[in-house]
Structures are given as structure tokens and as C-alpha cells.
Structure 1
């Protein structure tokens, strides 16, 4: 996670976007490349100018990073568009545990991905003589995978499926796809950054465990536990809709099912919150908008810029 934060700060001090919404949107595409980006220009214009028009050069670099191996590229594509779970990514990529595991190990060693380990307890029966229900017994705890550079995920999410058309200079289908799914794509980067911001605000505590939580039935975007047994849960919404009180009820229900009593519930939203939810802000309910992410850059300096790999 610190690597993503360093890239986020580096992007900001290179380009000084007008606001944090632009910072997050543009970082989700260009994060990790180390380019100077004119964020006053529309993102679609920049994608065409910097990526699509330079497709051949960038494809060569991606080929070098993946050794040109089909298994590596198929796995990256599956991880970019799927639920990030290792076993389902193998299935989507047409890989088995052997060649899929080999590809995953290579991508880790190359620094393109990192594992996000599940915090789900393996299923077991309380009665040692009693068998588990079939659907529970068949459920495998699956770790997830995160890309270490947003640009690489962008490439395999949007560019790869349209590569043939892009080579021919035909960009229409790509831009239709991008316009339709941009918010959905950006949501994961927003979720990762939201975890960083949440943990920044509780930095005086010792964090024992942090990340997303998932099991066979429940998913929570962020679950952070500190050494004083405080529990922070959060959901992240990078959509064009405000977050209302119904989202609070849904998250409270998830906590009840997990039998946890959060010290604080937090929401991170691109478009803000309903008046009703705003009136409920307290120590137990924290609400963060895009503008709050400036806390991640104001505590550093331009001298701390890092070099990215592309």
C-alpha cells in the first residue's frame, strides 16, 4: 500500500490537478508511468494522445514486462476485470493451479501484482463428528490480487480487449467502453486510496490488520483493526450518486452478520452524502468526500517523488 501512496503523491506533485476528483480519476489511468500529465485537458484526449497514439511502443514495454508469455498476459487480463480472487482468475484465464501459480509467482517477482490475503477463517464444524454442509465444505478460502501500478491494470482492463482496433487506428469502440465503465474501473483504486486515508486518520493507533474483507457471503470494502481492539469498517462509492442512509443500514447489517460492533463506520464518496446522513456524522460515523484526499499529499513534498517503471 505505501507504494500506491508514493505513486499518488508523485502524480500530484508532477501535475498539480485542480482538485482531488481529477487527481483520482486521472491517477487511476496514468498512475505508475511517471509522465507529466496536463490535467486541464479532458482525460479522453490524454488517453488518445499519450496511450492510443503510442500503442506500439507501450505494447512492446508490456511484452517485456510479461516476457510475452500468454499465461502471464491472460492472468493479468483476468485479474483486471474479475473479482481479483486467485482461483476465479485462474478459471477465467483458462489456467490450472500449476501454470496459473507459475504465472502468478512471476508477476509477483516482477512487482506487477501483490497478494491481498483473506482474513476469512477456514470453515470447520463445531462438532468434530459432524460433516460440513456440501456447499460449505466445497468453499475454498481464496486470496485476492492487487495491481501495484494503476496503469498496468488500465492496460489490461481497457486496452487489451480493443488492441486489434487500436492497432488499426480505430478508437470508437474503446472510448464507448471507457465511457461506460470508467467509474466502475476507478472504484478499486478509490477503495485502495480510501483505506490509506482511513488509516492515516487513525495513525496514532497501532494497526494490526487492514484491508478488504470477504468470505462466501459477505464483502466489506475496508475492515481495519487496531491493537486497542477498535474496529473500523468502511464502504467506498465512486459513482455519480450521493450516498444515503440506506447504505448505512446495509453496512450495519453486514456487521451484525459478522458479529462485530464497529468503533466507527466510514463512507467514502465521489459525489457526497444525503442531508440525512450528514446529520448523523459523529465519532461513530465518518464521511469522506473526494476533497478530503488532499490530506494524503499535503504531508509530503515534491522532493519525495519516486521513479516509476514505464
Structure 2
């Protein structure tokens, strides 16, 4: 296995360890506790578990994380910026009020120590002179949760006052899972082309355009995708917008993929075919089919 397990490997391990069967619920709890190897009782409300496992053990967990980050203020500021921002490196420097040279050194340290990994746009921008900032992913979902919702409020937590944390999490939690879904949808796309394997996948971005999924298969086919997480069904306009983005980025696409948690309008369903693929939550649930003991990752983190 690679030095850092993939998000899908972590997710399958989490689901096996905690007997998760409801996909949406599993993502919700994984976005907070993922990657740590902790046993999580998903019959309990998430907020209750956050207080029980994280807030009440703040000093111990903080101590473990500080050993990795060396309690460096720039490291912590950048991690908090990346946990809630657009994940772009240059944006994080601004949000963290970090001088670029210091920021780059900090990012290198955080990558070298396994906290972050780089995410590079999957194609060149139309403007050859445009400098596109890399994005950064946390290797463990828990670390993203920690630096978005726990670390910035350490003063109150130390005093046993969880008011700020709970208010902050109350605002963040509804969209917090979207990034996990983004990554899992990419895993599903990879599985959806068994006869022409996906050899490269990620996202595309420049200063004007963002494309959720951009992939290339072994034969050279280009796949572009969009994800929709709202309670409303995805309609044909989602496909139209995706096509417009690809035209704007001057990317020739062979297959368009639309993922929607809430299904699709009848109009969009009519577009379904070899060149347009529709993926739902039901399809995504296949990612945790046939869980077995071999899916459980060996984890040496302290258990809380």
C-alpha cells in the first residue's frame, strides 16, 4: 500500500470498522472522524460524539498534532485557511496573512510530514501567461475538521466553553461533506470505465472557470463532470453549464458526467447515453459494497 491510503481506502476502512450501511450517514461521520482509526458509534448524534471524543480530549489530541506541526503558528494558520477556503495555495497565504516565501516553506513542511498533498489542475489555462495556483488536500478528513472547527477556538475549549465551536460547526456542517463527495465521485468515475481505464483524474480551474471533474482514459477520451448536492433534482441546465465551462476552457470532451444526490429531471434523463452519464447516490453506494476484513487499515493513532 502507498504511504498514504487513498480517501476511498480510508472510507471503506471506516465503514467496515463502524458497520456503516447508510452511505450519507457514513460520509457525514467520516468527514469528521475519517482517517484516525477510531471506533465511532453512529447510533449517537454527531454533535454528541464531537464533544465526547474530541472536545473533551482536546489537550491530548492537540498535543499529538503539535508534535507533527511543531506548534508553528504559520503552519496552523495555513491549515485553518485551507480547511475552510477554496484550497488554493495563494489564497491560503492571503487568508493566513503569510509572506509567500514563509508560506511556501510551511506548505513544503506540511506535505513532507504527511498532512497535505498537492492537487494540480488537470489542464493548462487558455491564457498561457496565467499562473494557476495549486490546491491542497488534507490527507486525513479528521485533520481538515480539526483545523476548520476546533483549532481556531482553542481558548474557549481549554476553559470548557464550547459555544464558539458549536456555532462555527453549525454554520459549516451542511456543506462540509461536499469535498468528501467530490473525491468519492471521482472514484466512482474511475470504476465506470472498466474497458477504457481512467489514467488521470482531478479537477480543472483557472481564474475564470472551475470544472469539478476532468479525466482522461487510456485511449485518450476526455471526461468532464459536475456534481450537485442540493435537495433539488439536477436538470438539463447543469449539463448546459458544464458544456459552456468546457468550451470556455477550450477543452474538447467526449463524455459528460453529472452526479446528483437528489436525482435528475425527466428532461435531463432524456440526454443520458454514451456521451452523457448520470450518477446518483445509489451508484455512489457501490463504493462500500462487499466490505471485508482486508479493508480495515492498520492504524497506530491513539484511540479516543
Cα contact 2:87–2:135 (8 A) shared by 1: yes
TM-score, L = length of structure 2 = 0.90
Distance 1:274 1:26 in 2: 29
Cross-structure match for 1:221? 212
Q: Deviations over 1:195-226 (max 9, x none)?
A: 11111211432434210100121100110011
2:227 match: secondary structure: strand
Cα contact 2:126–2:249 (8 A) shared by 1: no
Q: Say how many residue pairs are matched.
A: 298
Moved more, 282-291 or 144-153: 282-291
1:287 match: secondary structure: strand
Distance 2:164 2:232 in 1: 26
2:177 match: secondary structure: helix
Distance 1:248 1:77 in 2: 34
Moved more, 235-244 or 144-153: 235-244
Distance 1:41 1:77 in 2: 27
How far the C-alpha of 1:35 sits from its partner, in A, is: 0.8
Q: Deviations over 1:142-180 (max 9, x none)?
A: 111111100000111111232222222222332232232
Cα RMSD (Å): 2.1
- Kindly indicate whether residue 223 of structure 2 is the aligned counterpart of residue 232 of structure 1: yes
Cα contact 2:122–2:214 (8 A) shared by 1: no
Distance 2:99 2:177 in 1: 29
Distance 2:253 2:239 in 1: 12
Distance 1:143 1:267 in 2: 24
1:293 to 270, 275, 284: 284
Distance 1:278 1:182 in 2: 31
TM-score, L = length of structure 1 = 0.88
Cross-structure match for 2:61? 58
Cross-structure match for 2:144? 153
2:27 to 21, 24, 29: 24
Distance 1:232 1:197 in 2: 13
How far the C-alpha of 1:120 sits from its partner, in A, is: 4.2
Cross-structure match for 2:236? 245
Q: Deviations over 1:212-259 (max 9, x none)?
A: 100121100110011322111111223333322222221121122223
How far the C-alpha of 1:36 sits from its partner, in A, is: 0.9
Cross-structure match for 1:128? none
2:173 to 174, 178, 182: 182
Cross-structure match for 2:102? 99
Cα contact 2:111–2:117 (8 A) shared by 1: yes
Cross-structure match for 2:70? 67
How far the C-alpha of 1:299 sits from its partner, in A, is: 5.1
1:119 to 103, 117, 122: 122
